[in-house]
Amino acid sequence: MSEQEISVIEKIKQQISENSVLLYMKGSPKLPSCGFSSQASQALMGCNEQFAYVDILQNPDIRAELPKYADWPTFPQLWVDGELVGGCDIIMEMFQQGELQSLIQESAAKNKSA
């Protein structure tokens, strides 16, 4: 691994540790650049808790390294409390079953009390 790759991995680890709910996506929640990122961010907004996002189109280094780090090939990627939840299909399935809302609200409650 090159020094640049290592520093990108460090940046990813820092982003994940500093944000209890983090969505790596194409574009932003207000202006998503792909349908999957749009669906994922809409589901997260539907949980009525704040979440952070990283636009991988603005961060090509993260776009290149995150799939290797996460062992997950596609975007968007949702991370909650340092754990990879999954991509669009998993996010949407969890949202429809009410599991995503519980997960996000538990994370928000835990991090407000911390």
11 marked ligand binding residue: no
Query: What DSSP state is assigned to residue 34?
Result: S
User: Annotation-wise, does 34 bind a ligand?
Assistant: yes
Is residue 59 within 8 A of residue 67, CB to CB? The reply is no
Helices (H), the chain: 3-18, 35-45, 60-70, 88-96, 99-113
Task: Confirm or deny that 81 is annotated as ligand binding.
Answer: no
88 annotated as belonging to a binding site for a ligand: yes
89 marked as binding residue: yes
**Does the annotation flag 47 for ligand binding?**
no
Annotated binding-site residue numbers for glutathione: 26, 63, 75, 88-89
Q: Which residues are annotated as a binding site?
A: 26, 34, 63, 75, 88-89
Output the known binding site for [2Fe-2S] cluster.
34
